[in-house]
């Protein structure tokens, strides 16, 4: 399941834009912009969602010092049905585009595909990432925004953010992708859509475990293993599973979760953040900048996705989940 990239494609630039509520994020200082209107001055949430994707990609190109004409591929997705926000953003950007859906694991699956295209020599520059807009996603997966339903402590909050990265040929001064693991779809019989961390933790465990095993690595070979959006409870469950498999407790401090940390300790967000934009926003801002700064030398990013739909849930199906990982190093 592990893919090795001999040419080590690099993450040349990252673009992250977030919504007004994300002003409260602990990662806020790393974002390129925090917009004060969740609809980006558009008429609908979905249009705002599209605008957000466009802006993130524009930041990527600006920071990478390239124009749309130089970008060979755009790879990305979101959680709205048929991924219209990303598809429509691709229409505006006019870059050859493939939409990808791995739910909240899309950020990493897009980077994997972009790295493969780079490795193949088919692309000089690709833009890869994912996004989510709270209102557009909530209305689709749960209730109307203003409906007064009580969320349990296990629930997570879909973030409004888009995170994209510029993937290109290896550069010494940029974080580079050494290897990747494409995850299996794992289902441990969890069926509560308000407890997604519990559904996704086994997928994250499986991917981390097989990546480390196949690469003959231990957790301490990394400076950071960051999962996408397990939330506080999901992270605890992942750690529980790792301990069970014989990992020492000391090593577990290297394990963190973007969703658990996204809104800090604010209890109004229950178990933490989620959404395709959550891992994308943290990976392509905080992690990339810290790698560039030399804080981390080797990082494993594990984006996790719950592959459910409101229909599958109502038809009493359990929640299958996946997790994809990329191993990023910095000289």
Min dist CB 147 to other proteins, Å, is: 4
| CA–CA distances in Å: residue 6 to residues 107, 110, 146 | 22, 19, 50
Residue 87 CA to residue 57 CA, distance in Å, equals 13
Measured distance CA(157)–CA(162) in Å, rounded: 15
Residue showing tokens 């097989």: 210
Select the residue interacting with other proteins from 90, 233, 280, 303 (CB under 8 A). 233
Torsion on CA atoms 249, 237, 178, 126, rounded to nearest 10: -150
Residue among 82 and 245 whose Cβ is closer to other proteins:
245
Count, residues near other proteins per rule CB under 8 A: 32
Q: Which residues of 194-226 are buried (b: 16+ CB within 10 A; e: fewer)?
A: bbbbbbbbbbbbbbbebbbeebeeebeebbbbb
Site membership for other proteins, residue 244 (CB under 8 A): yes
Question: Binding of other proteins at residue 185 (CB under 8 A)?
Answer: no
Residue 326: phi and psi, rounded to 5, are -130, 140
Tell me: does residue 120 bind other proteins (CB under 8 A): no
Q: Is 146 in the site for other proteins (CB under 8 A)?
A: yes
Nearest CA to 197 among 269, 133, 145? 269
Candidates 113-121, 151-159, 174-182, 297-305: pick the segment binding other proteins (CB under 8 A): 151-159
Name which of 178, 206, 144, 218 is nearest 329 in CA terms.
178
Structure token digits, residue 302: 């594990």
Is residue 195 near other proteins by the rule CB under 8 A? Answer: yes
* One residue of 10, 25, 45, 132 binding other proteins per CB under 8 A: 45
Q: Which of 19, 76, 202, 272 binds other proteins (CB under 8 A)?
A: 202
Per CB under 8 A, 188 contacts other proteins = yes
Stretch that binds other proteins, among 80-88, 91-99, 107-115, 189-197 (CB under 8 A): 189-197
Among 6, 67, 121, 148, binds other proteins (CB under 8 A): 148
List binders of other proteins among 60-99 (CB under 8 A): none
Measure the CA–CA gap between 93 and 54, rounded to whole angstroms.
7
294 binds other proteins (CB under 8 A): no
269 binds other proteins (CB under 8 A): no
Instruction: Please pick, from the candidates 44, 81, 82, 265, the single residue that binds other proteins as defined by CB under 8 A.
Output: 44
**Of the candidates 5, 30, 88, 205, which one interacts with other proteins according to CB under 8 A?**
205
Note whether 311 binds other proteins by CB under 8 A. no
- Which residue's CB is nearer to other proteins, number 43 or number 250? 43
Place of tokens 């529980």: 240
Other CB atoms within a 10 A radius of the CB of residue 310 amount to 11
Residue 95: both structure tokens together: 């870059």
- Closer CB to other proteins, 77 or 234, in the complex: 234
Alpha carbon of residue 257 to chain centroid = 11
Q: Find the binder of other proteins among 24, 28, 63, 139 (CB under 8 A).
A: 139
Contact positions vs other proteins (CB under 8 A): 43-46, 139, 143-154, 188-190, 195, 198, 202, 205, 233, 236-237, 240-241, 244-245, 268
């Amino acid at each position: 399941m592990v893919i090795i990239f001999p040419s080590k494609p690099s993450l040349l630039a990252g673009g992250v834009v977030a919504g007004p509520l994300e002003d409260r994020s602990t990662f806020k200082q790393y974002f390129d912009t925090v917009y004060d209107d969740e609809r980006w001055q558009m008429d609908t949430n979905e249009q705002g969602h599209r605008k957000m994707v466009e802006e993130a990609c524009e930041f990527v190109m600006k920071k990478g010092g390239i124009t749309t004409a130089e970008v060979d591929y755009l790879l990305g997705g979101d959680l709205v049905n048929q991924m219209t926000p990303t598809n429509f953003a691709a229409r505006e950007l006019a870059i050859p585009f493939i939409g990808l859906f791995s739910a909240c694991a899309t950020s990493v699956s897009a980077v994997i595909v972009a790295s493969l295209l780079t490795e193949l020599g088919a692309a000089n520059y690709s833009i890869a990432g994912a996004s989510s807009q709270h209102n557009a996603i909530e209305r689709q997966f749960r209730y109307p925004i203003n409906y007064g339903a009580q969320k349990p402590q296990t629930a997570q909050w879909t973030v409004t953010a888009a995170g994209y990265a510029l993937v290109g040929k290896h550069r010494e001064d940029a974080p580079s992708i050494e290897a990747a693991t494409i995850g299996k779809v794992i289902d441990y019989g969890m069926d509560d859509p308000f407890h997604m961390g519990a559904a996704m933790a086994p997928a994250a465990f499986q991917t981390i475990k097989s990546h480390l095993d196949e690469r003959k690595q231990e957790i301490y070979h990394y400076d950071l293993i960051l999962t996408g959006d397990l939330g506080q409870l999901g992270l605890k469950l992942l750690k529980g599973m790792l301990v069970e498999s014989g990992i020492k407790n000391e090593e577990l401090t290297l394990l963190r979760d973007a969703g658990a940390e996204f809104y800090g300790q604010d209890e109004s967000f229950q178990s933490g953040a989620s959404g395709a934009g959550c891992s994308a926003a943290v990976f392509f801002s905080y992690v990339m900048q810290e790698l560039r700064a030399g804080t981390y030398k080797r990082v494993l990013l594990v984006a996790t996705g719950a592959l459910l739909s409101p229909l599958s849930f109502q038809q009493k199906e359990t929640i299958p989940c996946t997790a994809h990982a990329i191993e990023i190093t910095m000289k």
